[in-house]
Structure 1
Amino acid sequence: MNAVALAGLGLISPLGPTPGAFWHGLLHGRRAFGEHGCPQGDFRSRVVAAVPPGDCTAPAGRRKEALATAAARQALAAAGLTGLPDGSLLVLVSQAPALGTTAGEQDDDFAGPPPEALLAACRADARRTHVVHLSHACASAAYAAAFARDWLLSGLGGTALIVGASALNRYEYASMDVVRTLSPHGARPFDADRDGITVGEGAGAAVLETAGSARARGHRPEAWLTGAACVVDTSESVASAPAAVLDCMRAALDDAGTRRVDYVHAHATGTVQGDAAEAEAVAGLAAALGHGPLPVSSHKGAIGHLLHASAFPGLVAAAGFLREARVPGTPGLRRPAPLPDGVLALDRPRRAATAGHVLVNSFGFGGNNASLVLSAAGGRPTSPYEETA
């Protein structure tokens, strides 16, 4: 069995401080852009952003640390754990590793939260915890999930925690601005009038566990991570290439041992090129599998793009779909762009006839592509999401 348990999830997003708040807001089509605002005179006042409630005037490093530690605690609690067990794996995702042991000692622009803060928040023994940092652009969290799954299946341990956070900062703002990907109006994935991405703030975490470890604790997971594929394709420096995206999705399904897909949670950020490339790849997948139109949606019209941490909202949405058989819509999608046969981009939620397998896509600059397959756990998870914030 190549599956590992998705034992618990944590998420702080502009829709609220829990995975349940995000799922509830996503189902109701909420768009959090500009709801909480940022101080005038700061560079953040010049860009449409999605910021969670709280002090957005604090340095980015401190915000990342606060968000990441809160998400980690949520994921552990959802997994029924009071702390990270000895011998576990901790995977941090960000632009670069923390340069100091506290947020005040690191470069606030792009460094990730210091591992010491995460270890303390998780009540983990630093001497008995394996710590890894991964950076694969905006596919980093999905790469981390694939890495942690391989680590668990290799018999190196029973539990892994992946954590990442995004906080709007000058460095990442400039990196998006220079390639002209930022929308002046707010992201609208798959919309005919889409004009770029919205940068969001937030953090996510996921506890992965071997089947044996979950069984020994009597814990029913949110879902099973049954397949994963990571494909680095250098044919395109910025936009994903449709052929590489298709190869990535097919490889993930092959790894999961299934040809069934009930829903695709798209990476779709709201750029003209990126959304079109992914839609073309999904159409190719539908044709290859002999499917009718595959339902597709994206969360980035609700909370923006969490960059390195962007796969975490995708995992929450996928788990919600598997649990409730409800396909979320894409907030902000008003006038769907023409899409190839085989792709059904949803502007609002709908019931699914079956909810057994879902693909979660995550792509990044430099040809970083990742696809994850989540499969239904059966029954209700031990720690279902709250319905509201």
Structure 2
Amino acid sequence: MPSSPALPAGTLPPKAAVRPYRRAVRIWLYLLAFLVVVMVALGGATRLTGSGLSITEWRPVTGAVPPLSAADWAMEFEKYRGTPQYRILNEGMGIDSFKTLYWWEWGHRLLGRLLGLAFFLPLIVFWARGALDRRLGLGLVALGVVGAFQGAIGWIMVASGLQPGMTAVAPLKLALHLTTASVILAGLVWLAAGTREGALTPAPARIRAGAVVVMLLVLVQIGLGGLVAGSHAGLAYNTWPTMNGDLVPPFDGLFAATPWIENFVDNVTLVQFNHRLVAYCLVLVALLHALDARLSDPGSGAARRATGVAVLTLGQMGLGIATLLLAVPLWAALAHQVFAMAVLTMATAHARLSRGSAGAATTIQAPTVPFGFEQLAGRGA
């Protein structure tokens, strides 16, 4: 059989080798982002139903198989009966009620496993086909590492709720788990937006910087929302715009605990107040950013995207206020959490697209080596 013609020395595989896969990679990344949002929603439902501590062991592989017999269910129930949550809150619960809790947590963990497979299996295929350039490949590897740690963070969070005297997970660890999921979502959307076809002119430098600031503020706000959820601070002050009559709660109420640093995590007054303050700051910055984009770059995609982000932040603040005034019903809390992911998705896409894109190359004057094939560059086929 004749061998394939060798590339001239120093010549790298052209970007055209990567181009046919860009649409498939982009669809895959957005599907992964959608699965992350579903994962966050299911995690929120698991927390709000009090189901997160129903599975007392971390078995990454064998845990995918649920109890299959009455004996299996009795064994799992016996493990749960040894937890502080059962003894303090749910003593006397029947096995049917336990099964309801168990299925929520099992579903959340199963989706996490499926999400891992949906990430790593296509990644291997795309890598083997040379469909990933260096920047995209390294970004995906970094996200894979973060995703692997996310499973461990989830178990550390659950383990915190199994300690003596605990009936729920530690607020700080819940916030870390939620924030890490949000970082993964932002990373997927950022990479997906970067595979956009066609050239895109970069926005002015100030608009690019403002878009990144808005995106980072959304991430900070989500983290603070995790603290609110973990400490049940949303049930403490169900009035707005005041907190039980005070626009700013008394200082001794904001910093009642010692050492003072613990107030930022465990003091429901300060936790809710911080979440409100950053919400106001986020909306103000998003509105000013949208106004700036519309005035300095009128009619542009950046201006339209910035306006969309501002509208979403206003809607999220309104939903948050409604959730608070209604004393955090399940449907409103879940809607507020999922809508936060929508705001983050839009803010991330806006930040990435504002950087511009060169589009798909039509020549091979500036070739890119597909990720994973660096050592083959310059060699004959």
Task: Please report the TM-score for the alignment, with normalisation by the length of structure 1.
Answer: 0.28
Answer 1 or 2: which has greater strand percent. 1
Structure with bigger gyration radius: 2
Answer 1 or 2: which has greater helix percent. 2
